[in-house]
Amino acid sequence: MNKKKVIKKWINQIVTSLLVLLLIGVAALVVSNKISGGEPTIFGYQLKTVLSGSMEPGIKTGSIIAVKTGGDMTRFKEGDVITFMEEDEKLITHRITEVLKNENQVMYKTKGDNNNTEDINPVLAQNVVAEYRGLTIPYLGYFADFASSKNGTIILMIVPGVLIFLYSIFSLWRTISKIDISNKTKDAIEETKTN
């Protein structure tokens, strides 16, 4: 087998593997989103997309952050970064500037690192959803936000599948062409032997 054929074979295997991995990865992301109600969870961490610049420069808009859910939500102290639910069912990730305690409840005053003032309303401990522990992946949130949309899901499931299908047809066509050429070569050799 010559060097070009070996290289082509490796390239074919790599392309096929990448397309299959892409399809499996996207399928896993979609299934994870659907099972967890739209928020993928990996090793006990929930992935959240950052949609505003209130925590810049530490957490950039369009980033994905990993937040740890569960535990005692009254445990946080000044300087911790928490994700909490606002009254309008909107999730916010801000830093605690002050812990307010009375005999019945714990509340947190919060502020975005990039904001000039503290948030207007203190956050009740029972409204805290998770704690941010410093893991940020910049700009991946834009892709994740698109992937979790209806159009994104359709495109990201169909495109890799179509690519694998087209690549399979191309590989099958090449194999059939090689067999035809091989058969024609054998026929030509046999014809020359008989003459």
The single residue of 52, 54, 148, 171 carrying the catalytic annotation is: 52
Residue 52 falls in the annotated catalytic set: yes
Which of 18-25's residues contact partners 24+ apart within 8 Å by CB, and which partners? 19/160, 19/163, 19/164, 19/167, 20/164, 22/160, 23/157, 23/160, 23/161, 23/164
Please, where are the H alpha helices in 72-149? 140-148
- Residue 17's identity, in one-letter code, is S
Taking the CB of residue 67, how many other CB atoms lie within 10 A of it? 20
Chain centroid to CA 145: how far?
9
Running DSSP on this structure, what letter comes out for residue 122? P
- Quick one: CA dihedral 88, 93, 99, 101, positive or negative? positive
Burial of 43 (0-12, 13-18, 19+ CB in 10 A): exposed
**Phi-psi sector, 51: left (phi>0), alpha (psi -120 to 50), beta:** alpha
Active site residues: 52
